Amino acid sequence: MNEQPGHEPQLDTSKDSPWETALAQLDEAAELMGLAPGAHEILRAPKRSLSVSVPFRMDDGSTRVCQGYRVHHNVTRGPAKGGIRYHPNVDLDEVKALAMWMTWKCAVARIPFGGAKGGVAVDPKGLSRAELERMTRRYASEILPFIGPEKDIPAPDMNTDEDIMAWIMDTYSMNSGYSVPGVVTGKPVAIGGSRGRSGATSRGVMYMIFSTLKSLGIAPEEVSVAIQGYGKVGGHAAQLLHDAGCRVIAVSDVDGGLYRERGLDPEAINRHKKEAGVVAGFPGADPVSNEELLELECDVLVPAAIEGVITVKNADRVRARVVCEAANGPITFEGDKMLSERGVFVVPDILANSGGVTVSYFEWVQDIQAYFWSEEDVNDRLRQIMERAFDEVHTLAAEKHLTMRQAAHWIGVGRVAEAHLTRGLFP
C-alpha cells in the first residue's frame, strides 16, 4: 500500500473478502481511536508470510501437491498463536485476515500471544486417513522453521482436530529428538492437551451470549437460538445452550438445516448425524437452507461456519436481536454497518470465539510447567477471562458510543500498539 493509513478510504469494502473486511475494521478502529499513522501502518501488514508447497503420496502411489501457508501477523505481545485450517478455498489473503484477527483476539482477552494462522488448500474429505497424516506431516515439516513453543503455536481450526495436532507435535518432536508438547495446542490430553480445550470455543460463545443477555436484562430460558454450522463449535454450542435452558430452534451444516419452533434436542440430532452423516432429514423438524436460517425470527443468531455469510445482500433480512460470531469473520464490514444501524447487538468474533485460544493459552502454560489442571479449573478461569473481556468492551462501547466490534478493535489494536510503543521501533 502506498496510501497513508488513516486518511482516505483505502479499499473497496464492497468486495467482502476476509482480508478487505479485516483491513476495513482496523482502519476504522485506527481512525476512531486516533492511532498514530506509523503504528497503523505497521499493524496493517503481516509481519511475515510463508507460502509452502506440500507434496505427499496418495494411497495409489501417485503424488499430489497442495498449497500451504503460515502467516505471523504480529508477535509484539508474545509468540504467534492461531489455528491451521484445511479447506479448498484457503488462500494467502484469507490466512492473513485470520492471522490479524488472532492478534486482536489475544489482546482483547489479555492473553500474551501475537496472532498467526495457517492453512492448506485441500478438501480433507477427499483424503484417506493415511493420506491426511502424510499431508499433515509434510506440511508440518515445511513450516517447521516458523513454529515452536517460544515463537508460534498452531492449534485446530476448520477441518483440523486433535489427531492432526498430535501428528504435528510428533513431527516437530522427532526433529528435536525429544517431546515438545508446547508446540501445538488442542492436542489429545494423553500427550499434554488440556482438559476442556475441545469444547472451549463453544463454552466461550455461551458465556458471551449470557453476558449479552444479562446486559439486555433477558433470561437465557426466554431466548430462541439459531445456529449456522454444526461442527466442533456450533454443534457443541447447541448442546451447551440447550442444557442451559435456551430454545435452540434451528441448526445447519453444509448440507442444509433443521427448524423447529418448539426447540430441537441436540442429543437426538447428534444421534441422527452419527448415522446419516448430516443433520438434514432429522425427523420432526422442517428443512431450512443455510441462507434461510440466517433470516429466521429468533433472539440469538450464532453464525458458526464460515466467513462472509452476512453481507449487504442479506443483512436487512436478519431478524435476530443478537448475533454472536462463533465463526471468524462471518459478517462483512458493510453488512455489519447495516446490522448496527438496525440496532442488532453484534458480539464480534474477536471477543465471541476467544474461548478456544484462551484455553489454548492454558494448555501452553500447563505444558511449559508440566503441571495439569482440572476441567473445573479450566472452565472457571475461562469464564473469568471472557467475562472480564466482555465487560471491558461493553464499558468502552457505552462510554464512546461505539458498536461492540468497534470497541473490541479499539481495545485489541490499542493494546498491541501500546506494546509496540513501549518496546520502541528496532533498530
d(CA 279, CA 270) in angstroms, rounded, equals: 8
As measured in angstroms, the least distance from the Cβ of 205 to ligand GLU is 11
152 sits near ligand GLU (criterion: CB under 6 A) = no
String marking each residue 223-262 x if it binds ligand GLU according to CB under 6 A: ----------------------------------------
* Nearer Cβ to ligand GLU (120/250): 120
- Least distance between ligand GLU and beta carbon 379 (Å): 16
Residue 74 or residue 353: which is nearer to ligand GLU going by CB? 353
CA–CA dist 21, 399 (Å, integer): 25
Query: How many CA atoms does the CB half-sphere of 302 hold within 13 Å?
Result: 38
Of 316, 320, 236, 250, whose CA–CA distance to 289 is shortest?
A: 250
Distances (CA, A) of 230 to 192, 273, 379, 388: 27, 10, 22, 28
CB 356 → ligand GLU: shortest distance, Å? Answer: 4
- Least separation in angstroms between CB 361 and ligand GLU: 8
The number of residues that bind ligand GLU (CB under 6 A) is 11
Q: Minimum Å distance from CB 371 to ligand GLU?
A: 20
CA 361 to chain centre: 14
For 60, 221, 372, the CA distances from 187, given in Å and listed in that order, are 30, 34, 14
The three three-digit cell numbers of residue 217, written as one number: 436484562
Unique residue bearing C-alpha cell 472452565: 379
Nearer to ligand GLU, 64 or 381 (CB): 381
Compare residues 358 and 406 and give the one whose CB is closer to ligand GLU: 358
Binding mask 63-92 for ligand GLU (x = CB under 6 A): ------------------xxx---------
Closest CB to ligand GLU among residues 33, 153: 153
Per CB under 6 A, the segment of 2-10, 256-264, 352-360, 408-416 that binds ligand GLU is: 352-360
Closest Cα to residue 241, out of 305, 319, 300? 300
Nearest residue to ligand GLU, scored by beta-carbon proximity:
83
Is the preceding omega at residue 55 within 30 degrees of 0, hence cis? no
Please, which of residues 310-349 interact with ligand GLU by CB under 6 A?
328
Does 155 bind ligand GLU (CB under 6 A)? Our answer is yes
Q: Which is nearer to ligand GLU, 30 or 357 (CB)?
A: 357
C-alpha cell at 74: 504480529
Residues 86-145 that bind ligand GLU (CB under 6 A): none
Interaction residues for ligand GLU, span 353-372 (CB under 6 A): 353, 356-357, 360
Is 337 designated active site? Answer: no
Q: Which is nearer to ligand GLU, 193 or 266 (CB)?
A: 193
Angle at Cα 211 formed by Cα 206 and Cα 212, nearest 5°? 95
Look up residue 243 and give its three cell numbers: 442444557
How far apart, in whole angstroms, are the C-alpha atoms of residue 204 and residue 108?
Answer: 14
Q: How many Cβ atoms are within 10 Å of 155's Cβ, its own excluded?
A: 27
**Residue 185 lies near ligand GLU (rule: CB under 6 A):** yes
| In contact, 347 and 209? CB cutoff 8 Å | yes
Catalytic residue among 47, 117, 187, 273: 117
Quote the least distance from Cβ 357 to ligand GLU, whole Å: 4
Least gap, CB of 360 to ligand GLU (angstroms): 3
**Distance between CA atoms of 203 and 324, rounded to whole angstroms?**
13
- The phi-psi region of residue 110 (left if phi > 0; otherwise alpha if psi is between -120 and 50; otherwise beta) is left
Give the 3-state secondary structure of residue 156. strand
Half-sphere exposure of 290 (CA within 13 A, CB side): 16
The set of catalytic residues is: 117
Residues that bind ligand GLU (CB under 6 A): 81-83, 155, 157, 185, 328, 353, 356-357, 360
